[in-house]
Each structure stands twice: as C-alpha cells, then as structure tokens.
Structure 1
Amino acid sequence: MSYNKMLISVDGSGYSEQVLEAGMEIAKDLDSRIYVAYVIHPGSSLLSNPDSWSPSRRVLEEMGKNAFRKAMVIAKEKGLSCETKMLEGYPADKIIDFAERKNVDMIVIGSRGQQSTKKFLLGGVAEKVIRNSKKPVYVVR
C-alpha cells in the first residue's frame, strides 16, 4: 500500500508538536501529501457548561492557529508542504470523516492530548479513531 496522503491530527497541546514531528518525518520518508487538522469540540466553550471553566471558542481557535503555525514551520524545515483545516464537532468523528473525504492513506494521532488525565493508557479521541477508522492509524506515544 502506498501512503500518498496523510492526515496529522493535532489538539493544540504541548504534545502536538511531537505528533507533528513524527507524522511529518514519516510523510517525508514516504513522499506523502500532508493534511493537518485541528478540531474544535462543540462542548468546549463556556456556553456549554457555565459552572465549569473551559476555554472560549476564541481561545480554542487561537490554539488551532498556533498548532497550524508550528505545523508550517516543521513542514518548511523538512521541505514539505501541508494543508491545514480547522474542523468543528466531536473530534474522533470529524477526524475520521475528514480522512474519508480526503481519501487519506493514513491518520497520525497522539496517544494523549489535552484531556490526558481522563484516559491514562490511550486518549479517548485516539481510541475512538483507532476503533472506528477504516484507514490505518499511526499512534505517536
């Protein structure tokens, strides 16, 4: 199987840079086209639960833009080009849907993310993507 197109999923956490580095190194070795996706979860704003603190949509969008800037820097360092896409919805669903629509050959995702305290062994989003994607999934630990 050839890996002409890859999707690298980032969540804006500090760990995302490691995911980007690993995914882009694989893409470079395989001469793959890269998509970098960031998903804004609809339940991640103050409006969804005013009793608990969570980042506003504007903060989440800025986190995504920062992740995209890092992706562009890493891609340039490796001599790659990449397309970025900010999505909105349930992260695992949106990652799988985007991978299907773009007909990517592999999804690269981190084993943990912003909510790593909720899932110790494998992040909830990563686990759902692995279980439900028809595409191969490379998990960065």
Structure 2
Amino acid sequence: MFERILVPVDGSQGALKALKLAVEMQKTTDAELLILTVYRHHSLREKSMSMVRASDPSNMDDVLREHSREIAEHAKQYALEHESPRARAFVKAGQPARTIVKFAKDKEADLIVLGSRGLGDLEGYLLGSVSHKVTSLADCPVMVV
C-alpha cells in the first residue's frame, strides 16, 4: 500500500504523535520511513529577537541546523527502538510547508503524516499552519494527527 511514509518533525508533541502513528503504520506496510526536520534561515532581524542564544551569534543558521539534526536523529532513534528498521532522517533548510511538499515529491513519498500543531511562530498564526499548507499543496495523501 505505502512504500514511503514522510514524517516531518519539529520536536513538538504533535510531531511526536504523528511519528508514533507513522511507526505503527510502517510496521504493517513495511514502508520506508522518511523523517524530515525543516529549519528556516535565520535573518538578521530574527537573530536580534531570538530566544535561542548561540555561543557564536553570527552563526545562527549552524545552530538551527544542528538543533534540527538532533530532533531528526532523536525521531529516527525512536523509530528504530520501536522496531521500525527502515527509518532515515533528513534535515533541510527552507520554508517549512513548501520544503516538506518538495521533499515528499522528490523522494516519491506515498503519504505524509504530520502533527496538526507544531512549535510554530508568528507567521504560522498569520498565514495558517504548516499542516494546513501541506494538505493544500501536497500531491500525495496527507494524514494530520
């Protein structure tokens, strides 16, 4: 039924719920589990207002990339510990919804499973949630948990 299931994660409770469900689905379908974390480029303006304080503030993108990598690896470890051996983790930079949809298309994902609410930001409240955008842009089915 499904050959590749994409699970975008951001460290939120919603993403964890989606990951748990995707792992259970992967067990029954033997699909490959693609775990993706997306971080946004940190502009100079955002850098000045950020709650994340890096030891080297001039290199905030590196800090965000590393944090995203840790989230993706933690999710992959969860999948492996729960008998989902075909799990791979990826980190991408970009606008979350569009990056998720592009990644799904590039990797030929059959299904995207994501949380209804993530960590979000002000843009999410003004323009709509990532999950809403993904459901409207994706070519494959999207399951919102």
Which residue matches 1:109? 114
Q: Which amino acid aligns with 2:27?
A: K
Which residue matches 1:47? 44
CA–CA separation in structure 2 for the residues paired with 1:87 and 1:119: 19
The answer to whether the Cα contact below 8 Å between 2:23 and 2:79 also exists between their aligned partners in 1 is yes
Q: CA deviation at 1:49?
A: 3.0
CA–CA separation in structure 2 for the residues paired with 1:18 and 1:9: 11
| 5+ long unaligned stretches in structure 1 | none
Q: Which amino acid aligns with 1:22?
A: L
Give the secondary structure class of the aligned counterpart of 2:120: coil
Within the alignment, does 1:72 sit opposite 2:76 as a pair? yes
The answer to whether the Cα contact below 8 Å between 1:111 and 1:126 also exists between their aligned partners in 2 is yes
CA–CA separation in structure 2 for the residues paired with 1:13 and 1:71: 11
**What does 1:1-141 align with in structure 2 at a 5 Å threshold?**
2-42=1-41, 45=42, 47-55=44-52, 56-80=60-84, 81-115=86-120, 124-140=129-145
Q: CA deviation at 1:51?
A: 4.6
| 5+ long unaligned stretches in structure 2 | 53-59
Identity %: 29
Task: Using structure 1 for the length normalisation, give the TM-score.
Answer: 0.82
Task: Using structure 2 for the length normalisation, give the TM-score.
Answer: 0.80
The answer to whether the Cα contact below 8 Å between 2:34 and 2:87 also exists between their aligned partners in 1 is yes
Q: RMSD value over aligned CA atoms?
A: 2.2
The answer to whether the Cα contact below 8 Å between 2:124 and 2:130 also exists between their aligned partners in 1 is no
